[in-house]
Amino acid sequence: VRHKLIRADELQPGSLQSVAVGGQQIVVIRTDDGELFALRDLCPHRGARLSHGYVGSMMGAATIGEYKLESTLVLRCPWHGYEFDLASGRCPADPRRRVRSYKVEVEEGFLTIDD
């Protein structure tokens, strides 16, 4: 089923918005570069709204105590900081945790997802 989210021009680069879709909340994201992503707006850890978090580069490290920003973009949960890959919805630090991700299309000026 195709769902219409919001007008494409309502979502500026570098922003995100939570949209109600069929009884669920979906967070739709437009990166600084204009790429579009959509994830279920519900953290699989303790249920926070991911749309209250923020998009950034994944934090990586080769050893304990090291911090390194990776090129992968993630949505970081506002409660305990779990990160979810914008494209796959996977948590890089814990593959058991994942949020559903959706491919976003632009159709007649609206952002849409297929469910």
* Residues contributing to the site for ligand FES (CB under 6 A): 43, 45-46, 48, 77, 79-80, 82
Q: CB 71 → ligand FES: shortest distance, Å?
A: 22
Closest separation between CB of residue 104 and ligand FES, Å? 22
Closer residue to ligand FES in complex, CB, 53/73 = 53
CA–CA distance from 38 to each of 59, 87, 105 (Å)?
21, 8, 10
Smallest distance, ligand FES to C-beta of residue 8, A: 28
- Tell me, what amino acid is at 5? L
Tokens 């979502």 identify what position?
11
29 vs 43 by CB, closer to ligand FES: 43
